[in-house]
């Protein structure tokens, strides 16, 4: 039996898939009716233009046989038009005087013929053979864009199901369903809920039963303990462990999850810019003699990432003062302004300033949304709520690049930026509708520099942060945001194709992170997974110089996604363990972790731009991969040194899940 949430999701997916199938079929028919005639019309235009030149030469008294450089001229005509397999000039007798290209194997191809008129009638003929395979490649490219847009539309629709399920009536039914499923599995724990009075009234009969069972279990255990019946106490404890009776379990918080659709839409704004941002920056800086193309491409990304990194900690208290909802709205509107200015400006330095404004808005939205989730979740339910938070970001990473690339290819980068601005405004409207307006709470002091410095002295923490966290973000930002888009652009790929390449990393992250996280916990080997993830992602980048083709770029992106899927959950868990055992304030450890990660994001494009200008794409990618491998090795060696020096005192120190100091 499927649940209500699953039923709503399946129904939306089926309806949308049927609609997309109809749209795809219609797009194919339209492509067949429009693209082929358009190419034939283009061939007729080119033929008439070339024929007019020959006619003027004949009218000037130059015989057709004496014309020179005709093949070179035909080569120039074919260069921008891959669909022209052959252009030839021939006499009415059939003798070919000049040719560019070949029609071998294209006996059934369409041929557009243009007669060259002389004083006494036709004196020659220009024939253009249209390659049908190229025509269908163009049709296929359009259909591929439609297919990817369809997949993205399906993901977007499924993500926005939260708007439907988040309603009070649906939320109440979902809460009842969760309790009935738990009872069917033999779980007798009382489940937490943050619904309103109507929801709690609906759930009261079920919760009253589980509460009474819990109270009876506690009374029975207390009597058994008082009577000294150890066997009965053990049986009651096993019953509690198996059924959860007497316990309180956390569920996905409705209030915490309310921010999910708005957060997804906002994160989609920046992901839309990934495929075309380096190319756009290069175009704007073309007239600036002081900047190389590669540095010009990296600076807007560096400026954005640096602002996000520096504002994470101070904006946490800002969002508390403003209120999480107001912080989200202010950040989304600020980012929308940045996107709009980026779209209209033609000056590179103003474009850089607009990216800084966008980064300010992005940072404020991120910390406000994260703070909202933390504020409205507790206990075991906080993990589920944060998982929803991360999933919304990763699905945005998966959806944004392909659709942003299509918009940039078809309508231009300016329209794509205006699209990001519009989506940012929509995310603000959605947040205003679904995110509850909570009163401003107590403002917690953010982590200070002293807290960060004290946290840096935690055992193995700096080896983890500088050896694994920083290099991982460095490689991700350098490869996915700058190096790969620029290299694929150089190889002739469109923005839409680059966007499809950029789906590889988030797709693997979405699919593989839960799997590797479960394995790391089951095998009690978090540090091992962090080290293995660094080696896998780094070695993948080091393979690129063997053959810097699209195939090895795909391999590097796939291994990057696989490696970071192995390490990211375990890495966060190790940091969380360190924060839990921190002698000072845990906020210092977490703040230091966020600062190092965001600094890696900012340093990646900057370092990649310099390396790209100095040594080229292949060597730059390999060097960055070597940095990640070396960092993983340093973290592994730090564990051995720590184990060698701790000796018999290890049991007195805070340890990770592997039993070695963090």
Banded pLDDT at 652 (limits 50, 70, 90): very low
Banded pLDDT at 171 (limits 50, 70, 90): low
pLDDT of residue 27: 67
pLDDT of residue 60: 87
For residue 596, give both structure tokens.
Answer: 């190092």
Q: Where in the chain is the domain with CATH 3.30.450?
A: 7-137
Strands 248-249 vs 190-191: parallel, antiparallel or unpaired: parallel
CB 254 within 8 A of CB 171: yes
- DSSP letters, 556-617, are HHHHHHHHHHHHHHHHHHHHHHHHHT-SS-HHHHHHHHHHHHHHHHHHHHHHHHHHHHHH-H
pLDDT of residue 128: 92
Highest mean pLDDT among 240-249, 382-391, 477-486: 477-486
- DSSP letters, 608-621, are HHHHHHHH-HHHHH
Instruction: State the pTM of this model.
Output: 0.72
Beta bridge partners of 130: 84
Element spanning 130, H or E: strand 121-130
Q: What pLDDT, in 10s, does the model give residues 417-452?
A: 999 999 999 999 999 988 877 655 545 555 555 666
pLDDT of residue 455: 63
Phi, psi (deg, nearest 5) at residue 544 = -60, -40
Residue of 152 and 54 predicted with greater confidence: 54
pLDDT of residue 649: 37
Q: Is pLDDT of 105 > 80?
A: no
Q: What pLDDT, in 10s, does the model give residues 506-523?
A: 888 888 887 888 888 788
Q: For the chain, what is the mean pLDDT? A: 81
Banded pLDDT at 61 (limits 50, 70, 90): confident
Closest CA to 371 of 415, 422, 414, 313: 313
Banded pLDDT at 659 (limits 50, 70, 90): very low
Mean pLDDT, rounded, for 182-189: 71
Q: Coil, strand or helix: which one is 123?
A: strand
Q: Is pLDDT of 577 > 50?
A: yes
CB 357 within 8 A of CB 341: yes
Strands 121-130 vs 84-90: parallel, antiparallel or unpaired: antiparallel
Banded pLDDT at 662 (limits 50, 70, 90): very low
Q: Coil, strand or helix: which one is 474?
A: helix
CA 335 to chain centre: 18
pLDDT of residue 155: 73
pLDDT of residue 211: 79
Banded pLDDT at 656 (limits 50, 70, 90): very low
Q: CATH for 7-137?
A: 3.30.450
Banded pLDDT at 341 (limits 50, 70, 90): very high
Q: Is pLDDT of 112 > 50?
A: yes
pLDDT of residue 485: 94
CB 123 within 8 A of CB 67: no
Highest mean pLDDT among 32-46, 76-90, 551-565: 551-565
Q: Is pLDDT of 655 > 50?
A: no
Tell me the CATH architecture of domain 447-662: Up-down Bundle (1.20)
Q: Where in the chain is the domain with CATH 1.20.1250.20?
A: 447-662
């Amino acid at each position: 039996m499927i649940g209500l949430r699953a039923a709503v999701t399946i129904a939306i997916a089926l309806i949308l898939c049927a609609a997309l199938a109809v749209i795809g079929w219609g797009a194919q028919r339209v492509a067949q009716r429009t693209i082929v005639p358009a190419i034939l019309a283009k061939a007729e235009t080119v033929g008439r233009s070339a024929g007019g030149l020959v006619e003027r030469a004949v009218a000037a008294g130059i015989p057709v046989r004496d014309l020179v450089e005709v093949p070179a001229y035909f080569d120039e005509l074919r260069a921008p038009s891959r669909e022209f397999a052959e252009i030839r000039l021939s006499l009415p007798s059939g003798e070919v005087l000049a040719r560019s290209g070949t029609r071998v194997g294209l006996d059934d191809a369409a041929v557009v013929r243009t007669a060259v008129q002389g004083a006494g009638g036709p004196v020659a003929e220009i024939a253009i053979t249209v390659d049908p395979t190229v025509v269908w490649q163009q049709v296929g490219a359009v259909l591929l864009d439609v297919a990817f847009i369809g997949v993205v539309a399906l993901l977007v629709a499924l993500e926005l199901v939260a708007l439907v399920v988040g309603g009070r009536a649906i939320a109440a039914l979902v809460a009842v369903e969760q309790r009935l499923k738990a009872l069917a599995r033999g779980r007798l724990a009382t489940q937490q809920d943050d619904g309103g009075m109507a929801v709690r009234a609906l759930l009261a009969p079920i919760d009253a039963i589980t509460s009474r069972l819990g109270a009876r279990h506690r009374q029975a255990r207390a009597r058994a303990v008082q009577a000294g019946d150890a066997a009965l106490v053990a049986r009651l404890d096993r019953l509690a462990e198996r059924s959860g009776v007497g316990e309180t379990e956390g569920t996905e918080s409705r209030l915490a999850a309310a921010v999910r659709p708005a957060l997804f839409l906002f994160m989609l704004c920046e992901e839309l810019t990934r495929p075309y941002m380096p190319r756009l920056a290069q175009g704007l800086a073309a007239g600036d003699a002081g900047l190389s193309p590669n540095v010009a491409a990296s600076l807007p990304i560096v400026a954005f990432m640096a602002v996000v990194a520096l504002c994470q900690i101070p904006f946490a208290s800002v969002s508390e003062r403003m209120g999480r909802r107001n912080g989200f709205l202010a950040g989304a509107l600020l980012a929308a302004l940045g996107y709009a200015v980026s779209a209209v400006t033609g000056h590179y330095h103003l474009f850089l300033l607009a990216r800084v404004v966008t980064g300010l808005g992005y940072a404020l939205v991120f910390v406000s949304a994260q703070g909202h989730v933390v504020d409205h979740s507790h206990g075991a339910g906080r993990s589920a709520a944060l998982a929803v938070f991360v999933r919304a970001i990763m699905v945005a990473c998966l959806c944004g690049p392909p659709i942003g690339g299509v918009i940039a290819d078809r309508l231009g980068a300016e329209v794509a930026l205006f699209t990001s601005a519009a989506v940012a405004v929509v995310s603000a409207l959605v947040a205003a509708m679904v995110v509850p307006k909570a009163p401003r709470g107590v403002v917690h002091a953010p982590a200070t520099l002293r807290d960060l410095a004290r946290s840096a002295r935690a055992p193995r923490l700096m080896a983890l942060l500088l050896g694994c966290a920083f290099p991982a973000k460095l490689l991700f930002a350098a490869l996915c945001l700058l190096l790969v888009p620029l290299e694929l652009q150089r190889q002739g790929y469109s923005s839409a194709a680059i966007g499809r390449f950029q789906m590889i990393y988030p797709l693997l992250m979405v699919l593989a992170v839960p799997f590797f996280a479960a394995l790391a916990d089951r095998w009690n080997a978090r540090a091992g997974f962090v080290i293995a993830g660094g080696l896998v992602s780094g070695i993948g980048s080091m393979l690129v110089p063997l053959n810097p083709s699209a195939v090895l770029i795909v391999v590097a992106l796939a291994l990057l996604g696989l490696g970071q899927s192995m390490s990211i959950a375990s890495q966060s868990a190790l940091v969380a363990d360190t924060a839990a055992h921190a002698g000072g304030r845990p906020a210092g450890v977490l703040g230091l972790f966020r600062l190092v990660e965001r600094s890696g994001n900012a340093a990646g494009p900057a370092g990649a731009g310099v390396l790209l200008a100095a040594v080229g794409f292949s060597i730059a990618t390999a060097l960055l991969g070597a940095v990640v491998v070396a960092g993983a090795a340093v973290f592994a060696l730090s564990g051995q040194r720590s184990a060698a020096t701790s000796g018999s005192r290890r049991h007195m120190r805070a340890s990770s899940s592997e039993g070695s100091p963090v």
